[in-house]
Amino acid sequence: MAKEVNVKSMERVYVVPLRKEFLKTPKWKRSKKSIKTIRKFVERHMKVEKVLIGKELNEKIWERGSKNPPSKIKVRCVKKEDSCYVNLFALPVKQSKENKKGKAKEKEKELVKKGKEKEKKESKAKGKEKELVKKGKEKEKKESKKRESKK
């Protein structure tokens, strides 16, 4: 016989079809019905009664308003004991603090480099503007001298 394994947390990815259900309701209730459909789908597939829907998933459903939710959505379900947490699949996985600090330092370095490059470009642009202004003034002086000589 197979050994029974006690799984404390289980993770699965599903594509939840929403269109078939929300088309049965009035337009102004479609996003609300989509949320209920996700709850029902996860209850059925993960075999839990308590389903918690993540903030990002909720915002994605309501993003286009109550009348036009997405027709299907890819979700990540994490089952822990008797409850299940559901969120968008496309969300990045949380990183350790060390990785975040390293990436933050790299980003700072990149920003500093970009800032220096922008300063150089701005200084070059100012120099060119000054040259153009000088040339413009010189031309004006020559033209004014020509006018005076003609009079």
pLDDT tens sequence across 101-128: 667 777 777 777 777 777 777 777 777 7
- Indicate whether 1 belongs to any domain: no
Per residue in 60-106, pLDDT (tens digit) is 999 999 999 999 999 999 999 889 999 999 887 665 566 666 677 77
Please tell me which residue, 94 or 37, carries the higher pLDDT value.
37
- Indicate whether 129 belongs to any domain: no
What is the pLDDT, as a whole number, of residue 95?
59
- Indicate whether 21 belongs to any domain: yes
What is the pLDDT, as a whole number, of residue 28?
96
User: Domain count of the chain?
Assistant: 1
Per residue in 38-52, pLDDT (tens digit) is 999 999 999 999 999
- Indicate whether 26 belongs to any domain: yes
Could you write out the DSSP letters of every residue in the chain? -PPP---SEEEEEEEEE-HHHHTTS-GGGHHHHHHHHHHHHHHHHHT-SEEEE-HHHHHHHHTT-SS---SEEEEEEEEETTEEEEEETTSPPPPPHHHHHHHHHHHHHHHHHHHHHHHHHHHHHHHHHHHHHHHHHHHHHHHHHHHHHH-
Q: Which domain range does residue 52 map to?
A: 9-88
The CATH number of whichever domain residue 47 belongs to comes to 3.10.440.10
- Indicate whether 50 belongs to any domain: yes
- Indicate whether 116 belongs to any domain: no
- Indicate whether 36 belongs to any domain: yes
What is the pLDDT, as a whole number, of residue 136?
77
- Structure pTM? 0.57
- Indicate whether 22 belongs to any domain: yes
